[in-house]
Amino acid sequence: MRGQVRPDEHGDPVAAVLRAHRVGARLALATSGTTATSGTTSAVTSPLRRVLRTTQSWWATFPAYSDLTGVAAGARVWVPGPLRSTMNLFAAVHAAWVGADLVRDAADATHACLTPAQLVRRGPELPRGARVVVAGDHLPWQVAAEARAVGLGIDRYYGAAELSFVAAASDGGALRAFPGVEIEIRDAPVSGTIWVRSPWVCDGYDGPAGSLRRDAAGWATVGDVGRVEDGVLEVRGRPDAIITAGATVLVADVESVLTPAARGEVAVHAVPHPTLGQIVVATLTDGADRGRLELVSRERLPASHRPRVWRVVPELPLTAVGKLDRAALAR
């Protein structure tokens, strides 16, 4: 192995990755450290964390990614998020590998790589017939249905910077293990921690350690929770906990109940409370959802898990890479 390459420190991150592959250097991919809400100035909130991986751990997945997304020579790929994000950088490097072109204008695209939030906000910019790959642990069915109604094809995958691909679904399908990946659920009889074993897992970290854990049998996890039934993976997200009045409330447990019943976006988070420690808050983007979700929470959630505060905002704040900015919500 000939050294390390940090793509985010280069003017052309894609060229830096291609060069690293040619010379056999390892990638040191930045995955955290900067969080910014839409329209605000970025602020460093945590130490920069870098995931180490070989370029081959990406290259070996390119054929399966091509099959999933349909991106091939001559395609025009729109990647609106920053190439600092491993999701976006991977899509851009893959486009270069197959001979596709990156485009700046969504109207020129045949394919796109978006987060679920970006699909809601920027999907309408794409032309009818464009095919979108959505990266993330959850794509609300309403969002996917609305995208398909305007003529977009939707493929999706779930993974992590440390794990690479875990599961994928072609247009309208359910998440199943990505080629070469084994999935196991631990710590609970039905829904528990998602563990994977695959050749695509990273080599570890350069600098501060992250959430990656391994065992002696070659399995790895980043702590996401979910369940598998008949080979279909349901991801419930990272089990962020809210401690309220002595009860531990997992954000994933509350969002898994509220999100399917909402027309708009939903984010569950905590705010400090002088006597209870924290309280559960639900922030919505569609005010019409509130009455329905309050009813759902009373019917399906224990009292400790029900939001005590309901807020409506025009849009949920996102980090610079297009993911939900929970820190901004808490502020």
Same domain (yes/no): 58, 194: yes
Residue 113 sits in the same domain as residue 209: yes
Tokens 């980090």, residue located: 319
Domain range for residue 288? 241-330
8-state DSSP, 318: B
Q: What is the pLDDT of residues 50-101, one digit of tens each?
A: 999 999 999 999 999 999 999 999 999 999 989 988 999 999 999 999 999 9
Quick one: 215 exposed, middle or buried, by C-beta within 10 A (0-12, 13-18, 19+)? exposed
Residues 217 and 263 in one domain: no
Q: Of 237, 259, 285, which residue constitutes the final position of a domain?
A: 237
Q: Is residue 278 over pLDDT 70?
A: yes
How many domains, in total, are found in the chain?
A: 2
Torsion angles phi and psi, residue 212, rounded to 5: -65, 130
Quote the CA–CA distance of 293 and 291 in Å, as a whole number: 6
Residue 185 and residue 276 in one domain: no
pLDDT bracket for residue 125 (50, 70, 90): very high
Is residue 169 classed as helix, strand or coil in its secondary structure? strand
Residue 175 sits in the same domain as residue 209: yes
Is the Cβ–Cβ distance between 51 and 86 less than 8 Å? Answer: yes
CATH code (residue 247): 3.30.300.30
CA dist list (Å): 52 to 85, 143, 162, 295: 14, 34, 8, 46
Portion of the chain with pLDDT greater than 70, in percent: 93
pLDDT tens digit sequence for 190-238: 678 999 999 999 999 998 788 899 999 999 999 888 999 999 999 887 7
**pTM of the prediction?**
0.79
